[in-house]
């Protein structure tokens, strides 16, 4: 009997076909949005799941005694209760690396749009409000020769910083731990304290994971430290920024503009953003090129296939976020002989 897996949202048909070579697949081809109870019910008899950010916590795991892997098609995995995963012997995986370059591209697209008021310009043309030239028509902020601030210097942060050379920008960054000297040299980037980063950056990009410690890393105090000509771009996670504080800062002109791909409580968002001209809003789509989205889907499938004991990396998925669980599984046995956890 083939192991049973759940694919919780619609995905490329060729990826479903790949998975069907190994598994009995329950696929959400209609792309329905399930309630928490519906999702947990479908998960309850599965050995594995490929999901798209749905929360998986202790209650869901308790209802799924056969579950051995949850493959998240995302870089972040704050939707996982990792303590519960490890307690139940379930490995969680994610899809890092493949999103790096596309996400960095999009960060620059958002930053440039906010700085040069591209979205406002588009609306002006579409609505017929553009009638003539004037010296102060939609004046924005330059990028070339300015200071780029990067908060979070992991893979994506480094890719963002690397692009600054083409704009002759000074690069400053802050990270919990300072990058190796070789990385700083390659990126021509200098570490500074967080408050100094906020004060000195002309354009600040947030590229850090959401954790209890990083929630509201940017709030009213931090926004108050930024230049009135500065822009803020968030491609990281909703919750890193206090959205209410950002709305106030934008409305009061504390900063010049913002580009946001993520929001607190998304897909819901603070409706006050919709009344502001100086913010560019996109639907959590930074890695959304076709090539990258396909790479994410196939990597998520690879993780699932390996974790359930198939392929050249059987029982050793490359992107386990709680790898200590892997050592509890006997790598020489088939999935249907794994003991059911208590």
| Active-site residue list | 237, 266, 284
Can you give the three-state secondary structure of the chain, one letter per residue?
CCCEEEECCCCCHHHHHHHHCCCEEEECCCCCCCCHHHHHHHHCCCCEEEECCCCECHHHHHCCCCCCEEEECCCCCCCECHHHHHHHCCEEECCCCCCHHHHHHHHHHHHHHHHHCHHHHHHHHHHCCCCCCCCCCCCCCCCCCCEEEEECCCHHHHHHHHHHHHHCCEEEEECCCCCCHHHHHHHCEEECCHHHHHHHCCEEEECCCCCCCCCCCECHHHHHHCCCCCEEEECCCCCCECHHHHHHHHHCCCCCEEEECCCCCCCCCCHHHHHCCCEEECCCCCCCCHHHHHHHHHHHHHHHHHHCCCCCCCCCCCCECCHHHHHHCCCCCCHHHCCCCC
């Amino acid at each position: 009997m083939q192991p049973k897996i759940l694919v919780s949202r619609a995905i490329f048909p060729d990826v479903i076909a790949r998975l069907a070579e190994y598994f009995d697949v329950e696929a959400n081809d209609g792309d329905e949005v399930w309630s928490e109870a519906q999702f947990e019910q479908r998960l309850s008899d599965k050995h594995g799941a490929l999901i798209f950010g749905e929360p998986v916590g202790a209650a869901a795991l308790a209802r799924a005694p056969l579950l051995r892997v949850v493959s998240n098609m995302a870089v972040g995995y704050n939707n996982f209760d990792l303590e519960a995963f490890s307690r139940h012997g379930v490995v969680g995986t994610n899809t890092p690396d493949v999103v790096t370059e596309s996400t960095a591209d999009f960060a620059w697209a958002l930053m440039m749009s906010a700085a040069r008021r591209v979205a406002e310009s588009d609306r002006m043309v579409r609505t017929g409000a553009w009638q003539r030239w004037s010296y102060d028509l939609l004046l924005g902020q330059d990028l070339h020769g300015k200071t780029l601030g990067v908060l979070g210097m992991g893979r994506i942060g480094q890719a963002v910083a690397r692009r600054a050379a083409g704009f002759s920008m000074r690069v400053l960054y802050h990270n919990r731990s300072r990058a190796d000297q070789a990385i700083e040299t390659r990126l021509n980037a200098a570490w500074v304290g967080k408050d100094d980063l906020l004060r000195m950056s002309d354009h600040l990009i947030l590229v850090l994971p959401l954790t209890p410690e990083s929630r509201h890393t940017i709030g009213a105090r931090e926004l108050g430290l930024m230049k009135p000509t500065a822009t803020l771009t968030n491609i990281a996670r909703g919750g890193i920024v206090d959205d209410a504080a950002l709305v106030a800062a934008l409305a009061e002109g504390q900063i010049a503009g913002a580009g946001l791909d993520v929001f607190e409580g998304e897909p819901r968002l603070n409706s006050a953003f919709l009344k502001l001209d100086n913010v560019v809003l996109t639907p959590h789509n930074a890695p959304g090129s076709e090539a990258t989205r396909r790479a994410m889907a196939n990597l998520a499938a690879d993780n699932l296939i390996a974790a359930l004991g198939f392929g050249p990396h059987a029982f050793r998925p490359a992107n386990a976020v709680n790898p200590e669980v892997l050592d509890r599984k006997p790598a020489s046995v088939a999935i249907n002989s794994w003991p059911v956890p208590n």
